[in-house]
Amino acid sequence: MSAVWERGVVANPKKHYRSGQKKNWRGWTSNRALEQLAVKPADALVLYLVGPEDHDREKLLAKGFRNENLIAVDLIEDHVQRVRDAGGFGICADLAALLLAWPASWPIDYVIADFCSGIEDPTLSFVEALAWGPAISVSHERRTVVAINLQRGRENSAAGKSLMANVATCLRGVGVGISQKNRAAHFISIAVMRVCAQLEDVAKECGWELDTHALASEYVRSIGTFPTYTYANDAQNVLFDSAVFTWPASVASFMAESPRLVLSKAFRAERSVVRDRIAALRAVRTMKLRAS
Ligand SMILES: C[S@@+](CC[C@H](N)C(=O)[O-])C[C@H]1O[C@@H](n2cnc3c(N)ncnc32)[C@H](O)[C@@H]1O
Using CA atoms, how far apart are residues 219 and 226, in angstroms rounded to an integer?
13
Place 140 in a pLDDT band, splitting at 50, 70 and 90: confident
pLDDT for the residue 71: 98
β pairing state of 239-246 and 145-151 = antiparallel
Using CA atoms, how far apart are residues 146 and 35, in angstroms rounded to an integer?
12
Q: Is residue 256 part of a domain?
A: yes
Can you tell me the mean pLDDT for 57-78?
Answer: 97
Q: Is residue 290 part of a domain?
A: no
- Which candidate, 99, 192, 187, places its Cα nearest to that of 151? 187
Can you tell me the mean pLDDT for 6-29?
Answer: 75
Of the segments 2-11, 93-102, 131-140, which one has the largest average pLDDT value? Answer: 93-102
Q: Is residue 147 part of a domain?
A: yes
CATH code assigned at 37? 3.40.50
Domain span at residue 10 reads 3-284
Total-model pTM: 0.87
Q: Is residue 230 part of a domain?
A: yes
pLDDT cut 70: percent of the chain above it: 80
Q: Is residue 17 part of a domain?
A: yes
pLDDT for the residue 219: 76
pLDDT for the residue 262: 42
pLDDT for the residue 185: 84
pLDDT for the residue 55: 94
Least trusted range by pLDDT, from 61-70, 90-99, 205-214: 205-214
pLDDT for the residue 167: 67
Question: What would the pLDDT profile of 86-123 be if each residue is shown by its tens digit?
Answer: 999 999 999 999 998 999 999 999 999 999 888 877 78
Answer whether 36's CB lies under 8 Å from 244's CB.
yes
Q: Is residue 292 part of a domain?
A: no
C-alpha torsion sign, points 166, 194, 215, 37: negative
113 Cα to the center of ligand 1, angstroms: 8
Q: Is residue 289 part of a domain?
A: no
Using CA atoms, how far apart are residues 281 and 67, in angstroms rounded to an integer?
14
Can you tell me the mean pLDDT for 144-164?
Answer: 82
CB atoms within 10 A of CB 48: 23
pLDDT for the residue 174: 55
Answer whether 76's CB lies under 8 Å from 100's CB.
no
Best residue for ligand 1 mutational test, from 57, 75, 112 (most atoms within 8 Å of Cβ): 75
Q: Is the pLDDT of residue 177 over 60?
A: no
Cβ–ligand 1 contact at 120 (below 6 Å):
no
50 Cα to the center of ligand 1, angstroms: 6
Residue 272 CB burial class (10 angstroms; 0-12, 13-18, ≥19)? exposed
Q: Is residue 291 part of a domain?
A: no
**Position in ligand 1 atom list of the atom nearest CA 55:** 9
Based on the structure, what is the number of domains in the chain? 1
pLDDT for the residue 205: 73
